[in-house]
Amino acid sequence: MPRSRRSERRPYGAPYVPLDVERASGGRRAETGPDGEWVVQQVRGSDREYRCPGCDQLVPAGSGHVVAWRTDSWRGDGVEERRHWHTACWGARTRRGPTRR
């Protein structure tokens, strides 16, 4: 007679924990604004510096920031079009004009 094995993932009687969609999707979300449709991902930090297109300042290595690219990019994954923004600059992109280099 086969033995019954209970799942060890959620022990019997343990409460149900709903799925954290943001964590399951890697933190990616879609945003729509007056400047188009974007795929946005929150990043905890990286090992290199980036230049923020919102303020033209450096995003220091290891600092949390936002990576964004247009959904209508010519490549499906948008790797070439990704831009690393300060979180505050990304939130204020519609209120400020682009910086000039």
Classify residue 79: in a domain, yes or no.
yes
Classify residue 87: in a domain, yes or no.
yes
Classify residue 17: in a domain, yes or no.
no
Print the domain residue range for 57: 23-91
Task: Give the CA distances from residue 23 to residues 15, 20, 29, 34, in Å, rounded to whole numbers and listed in that order.
Answer: 20, 5, 11, 27
The count of structural domains within the chain is: 1
* pLDDT tens profile 68-94: 998 876 655 567 788 999 999 999 988
Task: Please state the rounded mean pLDDT for residues 13-24.
Answer: 78
Classify residue 78: in a domain, yes or no.
yes
Those residues whose C-beta lies under 8 Å from the C-beta of residue 88, and which sit 6 or more positions away, are none
- Predicted TM-score (pTM) of the model is 0.68
Of all residues in the chain, what percent carry a pLDDT higher than 70?
Answer: 78
